[in-house]
Structure formats: structure tokens, C-alpha cells
Structure 1
Amino acid sequence: MNFLFEIGIEELPARYVNQAEEDLKQIITQELSNERIKFMDIRSFSTPRRFSVIVENISEKQEDLDKKSIGPSINVAYKDGVLTKAGEGFVKSQNATIDDIKVVENEKGQYISIEQFIKGIATKDVLPKILDTVLRKIEFEKNMKWSDKEFRFARPIKWFVTLLNGEILPFEFEGIKSSNVTRGMRIFASQNIVLENESDYEKTLEGNVVIPSREKRKQAILDSVHNNCEQDGDRVVVNDYLLEEVVNLVEYPYAIKGEFSADYLSLPEDIITITMETHQRYFPVLDENGKLTNKFVLVRNANEYSEIVKKGNEKVIEPRLADAKFFFDEDLKTKFEENTLKLKEVVFQKDMGTIYEKVERSLEIAKYIINELKLQTKEKNILRTIELAKADLVTNVIGEKEFTKLQGFMGQVYAEKQGEDANVAKGIFEHYLPRYQGDKLPETLEGAIAGISDKIDTVVGCFAVGLKPTSSKDPYALRRAVQGIIMVALEMKLNINYEELILKVLSIFAKSKKVKESNVEKEIIEFFKQRLVNVLSDRYSKDLISYEINLEKNITELEHKLSVLAELSKTDEFDRMVNLLKRVKNIIKDEKISGIDVKENLFEKEEEKKLMDFIKKFEDSKEKSFDNKTRELLHNSVVIDDFFDNVMINSENQEVKHNRLEMLSRLMKLIDSIVSI
């Protein structure tokens, strides 16, 4: 037999729909398991007005249960042969009687126990309790009180369908009684649809202008877009994030193509597409050459009155584009660089100062990086990029809050139109990159250095004034900022020592702002290091990273060393070398030795001499590259192996023993400069 549970609701915000469906399925699965009710599968559905599950092949009753509960020890349960309060409490908690008590024994002693046979109850008698629990466990970002009871939900619940094996399962919640009656689309279908059985649920709704399956609805959107809007050579841009939202705005999708005045195509394309996608939930349309057109595609419920709906939406988008064009034209009347002074009035954070002050700090940070990386030929462009990087924040297009997503992009547009160097203009946009996981990275040095300077100022400043991220909150996106710095440094192969950079930035910040936190440099360095581990963990094992993370502070050099170790780790010799070095470390870790005073005249074995020769040779190779030194260590690990096989460290002669430990200590000091095992 099957069971259908549908929750009918006033229209949910699109962002709630997926989670509501997933929560319903997950919670009912867990509760059925808790109640020992078996089933074969659970299918889930959702639209803006309902979310539901069909439990397939649900068992007719709970499984029987042989329950054995162990209580307190005999000494605690009884006193003078009479049950104590602890003993009585245990019996009561098991819904048992004194006659049910048994004594069991294990390795810890004797305990009272109660064994019970619990016969399974009919599923139809258990389900109402389960449904009540499920409804109270479903959570939303925001809830509202919608009845005279204390229960809160995202939107008022309007109906329940509870159908078990073709029969209505009696259920009532907050005064709403369940039935076998569901509802079609609000306008174009019946509002009283009797469901005969669970299996026909999807088919019956589809016949009443509702597609309950999210995946089917998504495909219906794509098919409708193609069939209705792409037959004339146009190509509709269906972005995944917008598709995921639109699929939860409609119950029976139908695509319509509308138009707006071609005059607005003089605007930057991103302004037009954001107006369509973000403000109106329209899909942009390209011509056969990939150029943006003055058309858009909207997805609405069903196809009735399509011409009226089309004209209405065309009237809506025109004023939005008119506002955007007005803002854009007004911005072009002002010199873009003049906006930088207006940043003195824009507070970044009360303890960190204005955006203007932040730009000034970023300029000083950039000068340090330029000097460290010897980028003097790019200095003029990099500093100009930073000077203008935040200037678009006070433009009309961004400042009016309509197009805040375009910060950086609009800066690039204005800079290009007013004759700035092409790399400077591009760098203004790129200094925000990456903005999210998987985003592109800067292609210009201008964008890379400007972005690193801006991000590290934010990170250090926030820590300095006590705005550290927690496990649940990171309002200034400091994790993303550090990750961005690391990814850009690796991509552009910038030899940045992150510890030295952090200390420099902290000193720059402290010149004009109060550092509220003591010992903050260590916290920032550790925070940076952890993000570095996270980024590198996508490429290298945690073990390899642990060998170098505390030795190498240069981001790109660290990555290079890990790539060398990763290649060597593919050989059998590598594991042997690691084990040998761990053995050396364990032997000397508690010994008070310097590693300096090795007396060769105390050598008794040839293997001691060979190991000492290797140590000397290794000491003489200080100028060699990391690659050469690690390969040399790897290929000579047999010398260490032979030493352990043939030399007894703990010689009865204490002087000889000490000498051998001194030699191992000297070896370990060399190794510690290369890898930290």
C-alpha cells in the first residue's frame, strides 16, 4: 500500500520551496524509521503552493520489538530488599511493573533489567502522530504566526491531503482537517479535485494545470522557451541560478517573448541583463551572432491571456530601463576620478574608517608588494587602478542601490569611456575577483595587486578592531578574501610571503587606526595558514601539506615544494624515507643534545661513517634547490636505513651512545630545514 501526504499552502517565496520539499522528505523518512514502519521508497514533490510525498509500499503495521533495557545496578536499585526511587523511576520509565524486573550480570556487576515484547501498531494509527511531528520540525528562514495558536510556519497552511491505500487517513492540525481533496492552479483549474488513489496524484494534478515535479517543471520551461521563443533564430540565455528560481515561481510554466525599445541597447549589456534577470526574472535574448537584443522571455503560469500578459510586462520593464539610462548618462557627465574624493563621506566600518582611508592604505600596501615583487614597470598602472577601484561606489548607477551587483564592472565602463589605460580599467573590475567559488581570476597584474591589497587590508583591519569571523558568522567575508588572495597569488605566480605581508599591513593600519586586539598578528597568520591549507587540500594530501606548511611562508614556493613532494610520493622510496625520518625524530625527541659535537673517532661501525659522510655532503648542499635536496635525501635514505639495521644506538658505552644521538640530531636539523615530519 502507498501513502500520500500533501501540504497545501499560501504561495511560498521561491527560495523556500526546494528546502521545504527536502525537509519534508528527510523528516518523514526519519520519523517512519523511528516508529519501525518499513517502506520501499519516498517520492517528493513541490510547487509554490504545495509540497508533498508519496511513501511507496509502506507496511501495514510497525515491526514488533523485543526490547531489553538495562537499569541501575542492584546496589542502587534496591536498599534492604526494597526498590529505591532510582529503581522505581527506571520501572516507571519503561511502563513496566515490579514483576517485570529481571537481574542481569555483566563484567561490571549485577543490574536490574526489563525485557518487553512490544507488538507493532497499525500504521494508520501511528501516522497521525508522525505527521504532527513532521509539521513541527519543518523549519524556514522566517516564520509567521497564522492562526490563533502558537504554531508558526512560513505561510498559512490551507489544506492537507492524507491518503492511505486509497482511503482518507483522519488527521487534524491547527484546526485544519485532512481530506482527499487537492487544488489545481489557482486561476485556470478546479479548486476541488478529488484524488481516488495515491498513484494518480501526479497525473491528476497535471490534468489540472499543475506540474508537481520540480524536474518536470524545469524541463517544461526549457521546452517552452525553445518552442515559443527560439524558432526565429534568437537564442535565450537561461542561467541556471535564474532557472532554479523561476521553476519555483510557477506551477505550469509557459514562456512568452516580449520586447523593449531598442534605444536602451546603448546601455552596457550588464545593466540590461541585471534589470531583466534580477529585477524582473526575465531571460535575456541574443541574436544569431550572440549579440544582446531588445527582447526578453518571461515564464508565467499557463498560456491563457498571453498577449495581455506580454504587453503588461513590456510596460513594466521600460521604466526600469529608463531609470538605468538616466543614471548612466548622468554619471558620464562627471569626471570619474572626481568620485574618489566623495569616498571620504562613505564609511567602510566605524573603527576602520572611510572607503577613502581604505584606498589610501591599499595604495601603501601595493607599494610594498610592488617593491617586494620588483614590479616597478607596472607601478603607475597598479596605483592608478587602486585610486579608481572604489570610485564607482558613489556613482548614480551603483549608489541608487538598483545595480549594486555591478560594482567594479561599472568602474571599468566609466574608466574606459573616459580614456583610462585599458589594463587600469580592466583591473578596476578584476580587483573584486574571485567573488564566489568557481569565479574567474584576474588576468592583469593591475587587477591582481589591487585585489590583494584591498582584501588583505580588510582582513587585517577586521581582526585588528575585533571583527573576527566565528564558526557561524563571517559578515565581512574574510575567509573568502583570504582564499581569493591565495588563489590569485598561485594563478599569477606572485612570490608573496604572507607572514611578512600581514605584519606590514598591520603596521600600516596601526599608523592611523587603533588596534584593539593584542597579539592579533598571530591570529591573522594562523587564520591565513588555515585557509592556505584548505585551498591546497584540493590539490595535495593533508600529510604532504603538514610537511611544509610550517616551514614555507611564500605562497607560490609552498605550492612548488608540495608539487615536488607529490611527485616523489608516488615512489616506494618516499614512504620508506618518511618512516625513517619519523624514527630519527622519535629517538632524539626527549634527548638533551645539540647535534654539534659529533666525534668521528668514536665511530665503531662503517655505517656510522657513511651516515656522517652523507650529513656533511648534505650540509654542503645548502645552495641547492629544494628539488635537488629532497631527491638527494630520498635517494640516500638507504644510508639511514643501513645505519639503523647495523648500529645499536643504545650502546653500553655512554660516550658512544651520546655520539650517535648527536649525529642523529645533526641529521634531523638538516631535515627540519626541508621537511617537517
Structure 2
Amino acid sequence: MAKDLLLEIGLEEVPARFLRAAMNQLRDKTVKWLDDSRLAHGEAKAFATPRRLAVWVKDVAEKQEDINEEVKGPSRKIAQDENGNWSKAALGFARSQGVTPEEFTFREIGGVEYIHARKSSIGTSTDAIVAEALQNIITSMNFPKNMRWGAYDFRFVRPIRWMVALWGHDVIDFEITGVQTGRVTRGHRFLGTETEIAEPTLYMEALREQHVIADVEERQAMISAQIAHLAAEQKWNIDVKEDLLEEVLFLVETPTVLYGTFDPAFLNIPQDVLITSMREHQRYFPVLDNEGQLLPYFVTVRNGDSRSLDVIARGNEKVLRARLSDAKFFYEEDQKIKIEDAVAKLDNIVFHEEIGTLGEKVRRIRQIADQLGAALQVPAEQAVNISRAADISKFDLVTQMVYEFPELQGVMGEDYARKAGENEEVARAVFEHYQPRFAGEAAPASLTGSLISIADKIDTIVACFSIGIIPTGSQDPYALRRQAAGIVQILLERGLALTLEQIFDITLNIHENLRNMKRSSDIIRIELNEFFGLRVKKLLSETLRYDVVDAVISAGFSHIGSVVSRGNDLMKAVTEVPDFKLIIESFERVSNLAAKSAGAVVNPALFSEAGETELFAAWETVSTPYHNLLADNRTGEALNLLATLRPAITSFFDHIMVMVDDAAVRENRLALLTLIDRDIKQYADFSKLVK
């Protein structure tokens, strides 16, 4: 008879950011053990609160399934030598299956004889294996940070204070760090008491009676519903960010939403400062009006019931008043500092001991941004703005406000720059140059902000590559992948006529002039190309077929707008144009023979067949306008024009033998095909397409 399985690990309060992953890990490890152990089971549900991790599995079988199966091994040819002796492969197979070679049978499959082993075993009862298994599951769990306690060497996310382990009505008996399993759990730290769990199906209700909502989804629904009710009642817009909601969700066991107020005089501080202080320090949700302006209220979630909410609100108001008073002080003091003095202080802040100071980085950003602007031939007035914005782009890093709230870098810079008299474009660029800071955020709206953002990001990437800091696997401490993706996004969204090659060359030359490079620029350039190629491939793969992505990237990706346009238009042609397969095949025939060319130059005087003359004429007609269309990024039209070569290509191959004995004629025909192949491969390598 199947029984439900319950495991609860009672803990000191666990950091909220660890809990969802830990909850899922506990469930996944339990399910994997059940599956690996051949124990049939039903649904597995995980639970987590600040003080507990738990998993409940329905209908766990009383014993393992019996094994009675036949396993195929190596062929007779491999299993036995010419004298009939068993080989090492056969003996190893026997050991792995728990049988002796004498128990092997032979069976013919596809004309080849293979040895087979029959495995049979009686399943073990769940009672006999479950205690050790659950103990191993707990001790094998891993967390971002662990701790030891008492005299124990065991490490866990937080000290274990109690454990509940039940299989049906029975306690599963084991011990970890002196804590013995049982059926007694603990309720809310202040509102609940200890309570017994008679059997797993009563777990959630028993905790509910002790003021603990164990189900994560239920807790989240309660919080969202209470916030929505409060917003409707007060006619507010409560700004609920998913990351903050996730954190609050794992800070409480019984959620109760309440609100408080703060002095409207604080609204003279920039809204972002107030919101950041509320969210980061107090885990409060800000309240906005219909125009998105902050109102002097906040919403928070109490870990408890609705009693004495007015007292709780006053306590939160008192704490927030102190926080906002600090922010007001920082804000006023920061404005007393001159921008030039703040910039000078950047020379005292080390960006990286092998790369230099922030001041040196800013000077490189200025030079890179200036040269990018020159490459785009920006007007003189905008060039001045680019230089100024680059010079002051990092000045707010030395302010007290950004020291207290690092996430406000750029936000405070824009505000302080504007108040110091900088023009609007310069002030805005100080903020925009950090964009996009994460996937999904918009690129800078202005050209000035875009160029400084590119300069900042490529400077960091090249500087890190120059000292061997290159992301590998999951290791990317300086977020270089994200910064490379940001550059790609800016080039694409802003439609900038800059290539990655130009950006690499400008940056490497500046680093060579200003720093002692530890590694060769040529090697770094190759690594940059590979690194950015992966970012471009990831971008294209979000919307295009893998073979289309490979085809267009093979033709070059330095111009981001071009490779994206070519990918989109080629995808459309492959999926929508009738008989496009025939066009691909004609291009492949050209490419296959062009590869045999020795590099001769086409000489029309050597043409002896009409098909040669017709193909050369078709190419001359198409080539110049084709290149012009590619230059204008009119890639759909370029592909259509390229496709008009197909009849001439088909006729050429139908009537002409390329690999003739006459070396001059042969090389001339190969040279003609090479001309066409070079043009084709500026669009894509069509051989990579799956037909």
C-alpha cells in the first residue's frame, strides 16, 4: 500500500534570496532518489518559509519495483576471442550487471550476435532504505553560503533546529547534528507553538493553525491580493517589483499588508533616491499617483496577523524617517562638491590593480568616445557634448549618495550635473551611459549617451582581456558578457554605422598608447571577435533557425545591423519562397568548384562557350547594385537580386564542363565562379542551410 512521504527541515531564519532555489533543490533531490530507487510515487510538492524547507510526496510505494530485464552487451566478436575465451569487455559487462559469464545468452540483432544478461532482483522495502536516503539528501544539499555551529563539522545554510520525517503515520528515524527526527514541528516564532503532524496530508493545515502559510504560491497570492485591495481602497498605484515581491515572500510566514506615511517635505529629494531607500533598506513598496509621481506613503508586509497594525506602522514610519533624513543629508552635501573636484578624486580610486584607476579609465572613455564620434562625423557641437559627458561620466561615484546606494550611479550623476549647470544632453548622457544595465533594458536614447556607453563597456572588456580576464563557463566576475551584449544592442537599436572591427581597433590603439599591454593586440582582437560572435549568435538565435544563424554569421557579423537584416531576410526566403532550395543548390555548386580555383583573374577573351559569356554578363549586371544594396542594408532586395543569377548558373553547369584538360580554360572558368562565390558569401554561406 502506498503512503505519503513528508520531510521538513526546521532552521534558523534563512536569507530570503536562498530559499526558492533551496526548496526546489530539496524537491528535485527527493524525486531523483525515488526514481533512481525504482520507488513509484505521485506528485511532489515543495514548501519554504524563513524557518523551514519541506517536501511532501504523495503515494510512495511500499517497496521497490522488482527487476526482471534483459540487457544487451557487446557483440560476440568483441566478447570472445577465437578460442572462445571471454574478453575483458565481456567480463566487465558481467560485473556491471551482477551476473557471471556462464549466465550470458546470445541473440542475433541485425545479423550480428550480441551477448545478453538477464537481471532479476526482488525490490527492497521502502522502510529499509528511506531513513538513510533522506539523511543523505539533506547532507548533500548545497547553498551559496554555508555555516557551522556548535562542535559539528557539518555545514548547512543555517543551524538545523528540528526535523519532521514521516512515511504515512510512521516516523522515519535518523539524526543530524544531534537533532532527531520526529513528528513535532514549530509554528510562527511569536504567534504559534509546537504542534504534532499526524501524517503528511495534515501538514499544511497543522501549520496554518500555528500561523504559518507553508505553501509559497498561497503566500504570494495572499500578498498580491492584499496589495491589490489596498490600492483599490486608497486609489493608489502601488509599484510592485517582482524581485522585491520575491524577497518579501520569503521573509514572512503569515503575511499581512499595511501602509504608513512619511513627511511630504522629503519629496523634494529626487524620487529615485526615495524609492531606492524604501526598497533597498526597508523592503517597502512605493506608492505612486496616476502620473507615476511618488506619494508620501509606503506599503510593507508584516510577518504576523492584523493586530496592532497602527503600532507597527508607526514603528516603520520612525525607521523610514531616519533613513530619508540620511538621504536628504547626503543629497544636500553632495551638491556642495564641484564636479571637477569630484572628477579629480577618481584618480585615487583603483579600478583594477593591473589596469589602473577610475580616473585613467575615464580618460580612455573620453578618447574612445571622441574617435567613435569622429567615425560617425558628428557635428562639432555634439562632439563637444560627447567629450564633456565622457569627462564627467563617473564623477558621481565619489558622492555620498552613490556610496550609500551604488545602484543610483548615473541617476545621481544626471541630477547633480543638471543642478551644476551642465546642458541637458550632457546631463542625460551621464545617466544613459550605464544603459543597458541588464537584459531587457532599453539602450540609450541619445547618440551622446550611446557612444559613451559603448566606450565605457568596450574599455572594460579590452582592459580585462589585456590581462587575461576572459569569461569561461559560468565565471564572469566583471559581467563582460552583459557588457558585450549591451554594445551589440546599442549598435542594433540605434542603427549606428559603426562596425565591431572599428570599435576594436580604436580601443586597442588607445590602450596601446596609454598602457603597457601585457598581451598582444593581435591575439586580443581574435579573442574579441570570438567573444562578440557568441553574443551576436545568441541574439540571432532568439528569432532565427540555427542553420540560418550559422549561414549569415559565416559571412561576417562586424556590422550588427547587416547581420540581423540578412538573417531575417534569409529566414523569410527559406521558409516562404517556393523553390528557394533550388537557388541554394545553385549557389552551392558555384562554391564547391570555386574552392578549387588557384586564384587566376577572369579573362573574357578565353571564353569559348555561350554559357560562360552569359554568366559573366549576368554577374556584371548584378554585382555593383548588389553591393550598393548591401551597403544601404537593403538586404532583402540584395538577396532577390542575387537570386536572379540562378538561371545563368544553371545554364552554365548544364552546358559547360569546368574541369577540362586545358589548364588556362579551366582556371578561367574557376576564376569566374570565384567572382560569383565571393559575392554570394558576402551575404551568407548557403552551404550551412538545412535543405
What TM-score comes out, normalization by structure 2 length? 0.89
Gaps of 5+ in 2: 687-691
Pick from 293, 313, 317 the counterpart of residue 316 of structure 2.
Answer: 313
Q: What does 1:197-208 correspond to in 2, within 5 Å?
A: 197-208=199-210
* Residues 546 and 305 of structure 1: CA distance in aligned 2, closer, same or farther (over 3 Å): same
Structure 2 match to 1:612:
616
Measured in 2, the distance between the counterparts of 1:393 and 1:259 equals 31
Q: Which residue of 1 aligns with 2:64?
A: 62
- The residue that corresponds to 2:577 in the other structure is 571
Aligned equivalent of 1:643: 652
Question: Which ranges in structure 1 are unaligned for 5 or more consecutive residues?
Answer: none
- In structure 2, the CA distance between the partners of 1:478 and 1:57, relative to structure 1 (3 Å rule), is same
Cα distance 1:422–1:620, how it changes in 2: closer, same or farther (>3 A)?
Answer: closer
- The answer to whether structure 1 residue 596 and structure 2 residue 602 are counterparts is yes
Q: 1:273 to 1:649 in 2, by over 3 A?
A: same
Match of 2:530 in 1: 526
What percent identity do the matched residue pairs reach? 33
Residue 661 (structure 2) pairs with residue 661 (structure 1): no
Report the CA distance shift for 1:185/1:261 in structure 2 as closer, same or farther (over 3 A). Answer: same
Distance 1:662 1:456, change over 3 A: closer
Q: 1:601 offset after TM fit, Å?
A: 4.7
Aligned partner of residue 144 in structure 1, secondary structure: coil
Alpha-carbon shift at residue 106 of structure 1 (Å): 7.0
Pairing 1:554–2:568 present? no
Shift of 1:600: 4.7
Task: Give the 3 Å change call, closer, same or farther, for CA 76–662 of structure 1 in structure 2.
Answer: closer
Picking from 258, 273, 277, the partner of 2:275 is 273
- CA 461–116 in structure 1, closer or farther in 2 if over 3 Å, else same: closer
- Which amino acid counterpart does residue 149 of structure 2 have in structure 1? W
**Equivalent pair of 1:10/1:157 in contact (CA under 8 Å):** yes
Q: 1:363 to 1:38 in 2, by over 3 A?
A: same
What count of residue pairs does the alignment treat as equivalent? Answer: 671
The question of whether the paired residues in 2 share the 8 Å contact of 1:493 and 1:556 is answered with: yes
Q: What is the match of residue 439 of structure 2? A: 437
SS in 2 for 1:160: strand
In structure 1, distance between residues paired with 2:549 and 2:86: 60
Q: Deviation of residue 85 (structure 1)?
A: 10
Choose which of 23, 26, 32 in structure 2 pairs with 1:24.
26
The residue that corresponds to 1:633 in the other structure is 642
Q: Is residue 2:463 matched to residue 1:457?
A: no
Distance 1:464 1:273 in 2: 39
Contact 1:600 1:609 in 2 (8 A): no
Give the match for residue 475 of structure 1: 477
Moved more, 362-371 or 225-234: 225-234
Which of residues 141, 148, 158 is equivalent to 1:145? 148
Q: CA deviation at 1:70?
A: 7.4
8 A contact 2:607–2:665 mirrored in 1? no
Distance 1:656 1:169 in 2: 87
In the other structure, the counterpart of 2:689 is none
Normalising by the residue count of structure 1, what TM-score does the alignment of the two structures yield?
A: 0.91
Spell out the pairing of 1:215-614 with structure 2 (5 A cutoff). 215-227=217-229, 231-287=233-289, 290-303=292-305, 304-376=307-379, 377-398=381-402, 401-518=403-520, 519-549=523-553, 550-551=555-556, 553-569=558-574, 570-592=576-598, 594=600, 596-597=602-603, 600-603=606-609, 606-614=610-618
User: Could you tell me how far 1:466 is from its partner in structure 2?
Assistant: 2.4
How far, CA to CA, are the matches of 2:39 and 2:428 in structure 1? 61
**Given that residues 78 and 89 in structure 2 are in contact (C-alpha distance below 8 angstroms), is that contact kept between their aligned partners in structure 1?**
no
1:86 positional shift: 9.8
Q: 1:355 to 1:88 in 2, by over 3 A?
A: closer
Q: What secondary structure, in the 3-state scheme, does the structure 2 residue paired with 1:161 have? A: strand
Q: For 1:392 and 1:419, how far apart are their aligned partners in 2?
A: 15
1:229/1:255 contact within 8 Å kept: no
Instruction: State how far apart, in whole Å, the 2-side matches of 1:181 and 1:79 are.
Output: 67
Q: What is the identity, as a one-letter code, of the residue corresponding to 1:638?
A: P
Q: Give the Cα separation in 2 of the matches to 1:270 and 1:338.
A: 25
Secondary structure of the equivalent of 2:233? coil
Give me the whole-angstrom Cα distance separating, in 2, the residues matched to 1:109 and 1:571.
47
Q: Does 1:189 align with 2:192?
A: yes
Deviations 1:383-422 (A, max 9, x none): 1211221111111212xx3111100000111112222211
- Tell me how far apart the structure 1 counterparts of residues 127 and 27 of structure 2 sit (CA, whole Å): 19
Contact 1:276 1:284 in 2 (8 A): yes
Code of the aligned partner of 2:534: Q
Asked if the contact 1:461/1:506 (under 8 Å) is kept, the reply is no
Deviations for 1:618-660, whole angstroms, at most 9, x for unmatched residues?
3454664234543222123122223334444455777765554
Query: How many Å separate the matches in 2 of 1:201 and 1:267?
Result: 49
Query: Secondary structure, in 3 states, of the residue corresponding to 2:317?
Result: helix
Cα distance in 1 between the residues matched to 2:338 and 2:209: 60
1:200 Cα deviation from its structure 2 partner: 2.2
In 2 relative to 1, CA 52–644 (structure 1 residues): closer, same or farther, beyond 3 Å? same
